[in-house]
Amino acid sequence: MTSSSIARNISLLRKERKLTQDQLAEFLGVTKASVSKWETGQSYPDFPTLPRLATFFGVTVDELIGYEPQLSRDRIRTECAALRQAFATRGFDDAVAAAQALVRDYYSCYPLLAQVASVYVNHLDQAPGPQEREELISQAVALCQRVREHSSIPADIKMVNALESGLLLMQGRADDAAALLEDTITPETGEAIILASAYKMQGQPDKAAAALQSTLMQALALSVNTLAVMAADCAGDPTRLEETHRRTVALMDAFDFEHVFLNAAASHLQFAQAFALAGNADRAFDCLNDYVRACRRMEFPLRLHGDDFFDHLEEWADGLTSGDAAPRDDAAVKASLVAGVRDNPVLAGLADDPRFGCIVANLEELAR
C-alpha cells in the first residue's frame, strides 16, 4: 500500500463515476482542496473517512487503498525474483530489509511466506557474519512456523517442513528436526498416477503427461540425492562406495540428468567428497572431473527444462508458485560452483595436487 496507489484509486473511481472534485467533497463534507490533495498524494483521507469513501464508490477499503492480502502466483514469482536480484546486486542488509518489508505487507499470504523462507535459506552464505546468519535462520524458521500453523495448502506445508528441519540441523538441533519430520514420511500412494488417469478420461493428455513426468522427475531427483548422501556413509567401505557410485551414475546417465536436472553437479561433488574421505584421491578427481563436466552442461539463465523424454515438465513448472526459476541468482550459482570445490574443507587434502588447481581454474573460467 502506498500513497500513490490511494491517490490513483480515488482519482480513477471518481472519474469513472463522472464526478467532480466538488461533488465528492460535498458528499463527504470536506473541502475540494482536501480531495485534490488526496488525488495528488499530498495527504491521506483520515481514518473515519476511508470507509465512507469505500462505501460511496462501492469497493472495499482494501481495494480503495490498493492492498492485496493474497498475491497471485505470478506476483509471488515476480516479488521473489526481485528479492533474489536484490541479494545479488544490492547487498545483504538491503536485500533482507526488502524481504522484511514484503513480509510485513503480506503476512497472511502463506505461499509468499514459504517462498521468502526459501529465498532466505538459499542466501545464508551471503550473511556477512555468524550473527547475521543466525538472525536470518531465525527469521526463516519463524516464517516456516507461521505457514505450517496457518496455511491450508499441503505443498506449502511440506516445503516449509523440509526447510525448517534443514535449518534446525544447521543449529545443531537434531532432536527438533527429527521430531518435525518423523511423522511426515508416509508410503507413496500413487496420487499422480490416479490424477493422470483422470486427466486422460477428461481428454487432457498433455496434463496427464505433465503429472506423470513431474512425478517421475521428482522421484528420480530424490533417488539421486539420496544415493549421493549415502556416499559419505560408505567412505569406510570401498566396495560399497564404488557400487553406490556405479548405480548413481547409471541412473543419471539413463535419464540424462546432467541435462535436465539443475542440481546434478552436486551429486558428483558429494561422491568426490566421499572418495576423498576414503583416501582414494584418484577416484575423487574422477568425480571432480564429472562435476566440471556437469557444470559445463548447465545452461544460463538457469531454468527448469525437459528434453525429448521429459517433454511436459514446463507445463508442470507453470503451476508451481516458484515457477521454473533457479533458487538463486545466476551469478551466485556460478560463484557457488567454484566455492564448492575451492573452499571445501573435505577436499583440502587434495589441494596440493596439480589436478586440483586445474579443476578450480576450469570452474573459475565457467563462472566468468
pLDDT tens digits for range 61-79: 888 887 666 888 889 999 9
Give the residue, 243 or 66, on which the prediction is more confident.
243
User: CB atoms < 10 A from the CB of 197, how many?
Assistant: 14
Percent of the chain with pLDDT over 70: 97
pTM, entire model: 0.77
pLDDT of residue 68: 66
Are 39 and 98 within 8 A, CB to CB? no
Residue with cell 558429494: 270
Q: How confident is the model at residue 1 (pLDDT cuts 50, 70, 90)?
A: very low
Question: Does the pLDDT of residue 38 top 80, yes or no?
Answer: yes
- To 10 degrees, what angle do helices 330-342 and 281-296 make? 170
Residue with cell 535449518: 167
- 3-class SS of residue 303: strand
pLDDT in tens, 303-361: 888 999 999 988 888 877 776 677 788 888 999 999 999 999 999 999 999 999 999 99
Peptide bond into 301 cis (omega under 30): yes
pLDDT in tens, 162-179: 999 999 999 999 999 999
Alpha helices in the chain (DSSP H): 3-16, 21-28, 32-39, 49-57, 61-65, 73-89, 92-105, 110-121, 130-150, 154-170, 174-181, 191-201, 205-233, 238-254, 257-260, 264-277, 281-296, 313-318, 330-342, 354-367
C-alpha to C-alpha distance for 255 and 262, rounded to whole angstroms:
13
DSSP 325: B
Are 367 and 334 within 8 A, CB to CB? yes
Residue with cell 541435462: 259
pLDDT of residue 275: 98
**Across all residues in the chain, what is the average pLDDT?**
92
